[in-house]
Amino acid sequence: MHKLQLHPRLKRLCTIFLAAAITMTATIGLAGYHPAVRASAASITELESQKEEINAKLDAVNEKIDDLQDKIDQEEAYQAELTNQISLYKQQIQLLDEEIESLEIEIENKNAEIVQLEEDIDQLEVDIAAKQVEIDETYEQFKTRMVALYQAGETSSLAMLLSSSSFSDFVTNVRLMQAVSASDEQLVDKLRTQKADQEETKAQVEDTKAQVETALIEVQEYEESVILQREEQKTAQSNLEVAYSKSKSAQEDLEALKAQYEEDLAAAKAQDEAVESEIQAFYAEQARKAAEAEKARQEAAAKGETVEEAPVNTGNLSFRWPLPGYSMITSGYGPRWGSFHTGIDISGGGVYGASIVAAESGTVILASSHYSYGNYVIVDHGGGYTTLYAHMSSIACSVGDYVSKGQTIGYVGSTGNSTGPHLHFEVRINGSHQNPSGFVSP
Q: How confident is the model at residue 335 (pLDDT cuts 50, 70, 90)?
A: confident
CA separation for the pair 376, 293 (Å, rounded): 28
Domain with CATH 1.10.287 in the chain: 34-310
CA separation for the pair 390, 375 (Å, rounded): 6
3-state secondary structure of 386: strand
Domain with CATH 2.70.70.10 in the chain: 313-442
Determine how β-strand 423-429 pairs with β-strand 385-395.
Answer: antiparallel
Residue from 200, 237, 207, 222 nearest 124 by CA: 200
Residue from 65, 19, 96, 133 nearest 433 by CA: 19
Per-residue model confidence as pLDDT tens digits over 68-82: 788 888 888 888 887
Per-residue model confidence as pLDDT tens digits over 134-191: 777 776 776 676 666 555 554 455 565 556 566 666 667 666 666 666 766 777 777 7
Report yes or no on whether pTM surpasses 0.75: no
**CATH code reported for the domain at 313-442:** 2.70.70.10
Residue from 26, 12, 11 nearest 388 by CA: 26
Give the residue with greater pLDDT, 363 vs 284: 363
May I ask the CATH architecture of the domain 34-310? Orthogonal Bundle (1.10)
User: Which residues have C-beta within 8 Å of that of residue 110, sequence separation ≥ 6?
Assistant: 212, 215, 216, 219
User: Percentage of residues in the chain with pLDDT exceeding 70?
Assistant: 69
Q: Are 426 and 343 in contact (CB under 8 A)?
A: yes
Average pLDDT score over the chain: 75
User: Which residues have C-beta within 8 Å of that of residue 79, sequence separation ≥ 6?
Assistant: 244, 247, 248, 251
